[in-house]
Amino acid sequence: MTVQQQQATIPTVLVYEDDPGFPPQVNMPVPHPVPHLDTQPFPTAIAESVPQPDGAGPGTEAFRYWVAADALSRASQTWGPLVPTGTQWHPTVGRALTAHLNAGNDLNAFYDRKGLWFFRRTVQGVTVASCESSEVVEHETGHAILDALRPQLFDAASAEAAALHEAFGDISALLTSLGLESLRIAVLAETQGDLELSSRVSRMAEQLGWAIRQGHPNVVDSDCLRNLSNSFFYRDPVELPPSAPANLLSSEPHSFSRLFSGAFLKVVAGIFRQQDLQDQAGLALAAQTAGQLLVDAVVAAPVVSAYYAQVAGHMIAADQRRNGGKYGPSLRSAFIRHGILSLEAATSITEPEVARKAAAIAEATPGGGADEGLTAVTIHGSTYGLTQPLTLCAPAQERRFGIAGSDPAGGSVRPADPERVATSYLEDLFRRGRIEVPEEHRSGAAIADDSPTRLKTHEITRSTTGEGLALIRRCFD
């Protein structure tokens, strides 16, 4: 039997490789082999019944199932080889991460330590199902991957920690897309080899972005939900407004995430330029190399107020350990251009400095206690209309590198102290109406947004210590 004959006998399903796009079917479905969800070390599952792989097309439940299954499988295959041995889903997830494909009427999706939840809504006659976008599925899977690597970030009261989660989700979609030869060929043709340019893989969730724009024209990009091809420059999120139009930066995690995901796209582009192979195979290697450096960094970087800078610094350190610093120029350039590292910070992470701190970096392991690296900060609950003092998990681990982001006027930004970071984060959540405050914890001057249409990502609950209240996260949406 020839190779062609063997391939012809492999059962296939129709899927979108990245996103439906808009208008509908601007990206046409293609056949992929029937996906296997039991992929180690990140097995996944789908709550809905398994349909027959019968070639069902867009708009059918069978098609949506296979798009989601294909994306889940490919995301697991992307991250599995990059994570430390023994990495598993967060314990509350269970053995397999379960996706729920029809969780309700909304233009959204989220990860909540129990599974992945995908919503749908009909807009101008078009049913937009978030599970029908591989990019959305891969983004949400990225949240679960990062939670497996660094569970400390889940409840961290820090805009940069939350935004890193969102950036990691978009990076998950990017790297999973670049795992497909067909998309690597397409993006090289679209960008003429300049991967920093806007492309099919840099534009996240085009269809979902279109649907959101119909009711809220300014909250997402003009041609997608978010674009990794951007030029946003770092500002300390405690100095930013809690929300802003899509063309401006705010402390809202999805908005602020674009700094890091934008820098990461430039890292991939820079590594690709440094390689001998300037074809789709070279792009695959560049993506895998950048992904490995990111995993190394998020495992080792301390959870601090200037968290972006620490992750960037640890990517440079990981490159020095793994590659002898070969890709240092690309890493430094990317993070300097977005202001994540100041010029002074980028040049201070030298080989001797990394060698001096190698033992501490090597001791960093994934997992650990849920609040390892976080400091409990108790504030007056009455300030926020609460009946008792409120405890926040402030990012206050010991810094490994004395580095920070860039001040647009020159030099480095002085990182805010952990308590200010935590209280600023809390106040932004209140301003955006993202906190569920049960009646029993409200005073007469309670600050609570009871809108049923606004998803609550956090809630106020009784502290596990038995004293006062605590802010905990429900989900990443």
- Token pair in block for residue 458: 């956090």
Q: Is the peptide bond before 23 cis (omega within 30 degrees of 0)?
A: yes
> With contact defined as beta carbons under 8 Å apart, do 113 and 92 qualify?
yes
The rounded mean pLDDT for the chain is 93
Rounded mean pLDDT of 117-140? Answer: 97
Q: What is the pLDDT of residue 361?
A: 80
Distance CA 394, CA 405 (A): 19
Beta carbons of 258 and 231 less than 8 angstroms apart: no
CA gyration radius for the chain? 22
Residue 350 CB-density burial (10 A; 0-12 exposed, 13-18 middle, 19+ buried):
middle
The per-residue pLDDT for 367 is: 58
3-state helix, strand, coil in the chain (%, to 5): 45, 15, 45
pLDDT band at 369 (very low <50, low <70, confident <90, very high): very low
Average pLDDT over residues 297-303: 96
Question: What pLDDT was estimated at residue 370?
Answer: 43
**Global pTM?**
0.96
pLDDT tens-digit series, residues 218-244 = 999 999 999 999 999 999 999 999 999
pLDDT for 26: 80
Percent above pLDDT 90 for the chain: 86
Structural domain boundaries in the chain: 12-363, 375-473
Question: What are the structure tokens assigned to 43, written together?
Answer: 């097995």
Contact 403, 313 (CB under 8 A): yes
Please check whether residue 62 is in contact with residue 54, taking contact to mean a CB–CB distance below 8 angstroms.
yes
| Residue 302 token pair | 């301390």
Tokens of 365: 């392991």
pLDDT in tens, 421-455: 999 999 999 999 999 999 999 988 887 777 877 89
Residue 373 has pLDDT above 90, yes or no: no
Integer Cα distance of 454 and 476 in angstroms? 14
Q: Answer whether residue 318 shows pLDDT above 90.
A: yes
